[in-house]
Amino acid sequence: MSDSTTTIADLKDRVRTFVDERDWQRFHTPKNLAMSVAIEAAELMEVFQWVESADAPARAEDQRTALEDEMADVCCYLLSLANAAGVDLSAAVQRKLQKNAAKYPAAEYRGRFE
């Protein structure tokens, strides 16, 4: 599997199958899954804890496996949340990008982070 050949639907199906095989649906409520996303995101931040911003790219390479594992955990819980809540994640991302484009026009915000 790679990003260039795998759809979000494929990933959602794989996560759904994983959850179903373990009979975890009753635990995978939107509340529990949202909390799990936040917990895993905190673990992702630990990869870079106490690292200066300039050193972050080297740390990402040095800690590649941990970085990938934590990113995958965040993604899996997010996909499971999309499954549990019936969210079309692709459509939600597209809508949010459109909102952000209107809120932060490129001509006005290019190179700015505020």
Q: What is the DSSP string of 4-34?
A: TT--HHHHHHHHHHHHHHTT-TTT--HHHHH
Task: Give the pLDDT confidence score for residue 20 in this predicted structure.
Answer: 98
- Report the C-alpha gap between 57 and 41 in whole angstroms: 18
Please check whether residue 2 lies inside any domain of the structure: no
Task: Give the pLDDT confidence score for residue 3 in this predicted structure.
Answer: 93
- Report the C-alpha gap between 48 and 56 in whole angstroms: 7
Please check whether residue 3 lies inside any domain of the structure: no
- Report the C-alpha gap between 94 and 8 in whole angstroms: 13
Residue 38 dihedral angles phi and psi, to the nearest 5°:
-65, -40
Residue-range definition of the domain harbouring residue 58: 8-109
Residue partners of 95: CB distance under 8 A and separation at least 6: none
Please check whether residue 91 lies inside any domain of the structure: yes
Task: Give the pLDDT confidence score for residue 113 in this predicted structure.
Answer: 78
Structure token digits, residue 109: 């915000």
Task: Give the pLDDT confidence score for residue 1 in this predicted structure.
Answer: 81
Q: What pTM, to 2 d.p., does this model score?
A: 0.91
Please check whether residue 1 lies inside any domain of the structure: no
Domains identified in the chain, total number? 1
Please check whether residue 114 lies inside any domain of the structure: no
- Tens of pLDDT along the chain (114 residues) come to 899 999 999 999 999 999 999 999 999 999 999 999 999 999 999 999 999 999 999 999 999 999 999 999 999 999 999 999 999 999 999 999 999 999 999 999 999 877
- Report the C-alpha gap between 12 and 27 in whole angstroms: 17
Q: How far is CA 56 from CA 94, 97, 110, in A?
A: 29, 26, 23
Please check whether residue 100 lies inside any domain of the structure: yes
Q: Residue 23 maps to which CATH number? A: 1.10.287.1080
Residue partners of 71: CB distance under 8 A and separation at least 6: 44
Structure token digits, residue 9: 């639907």
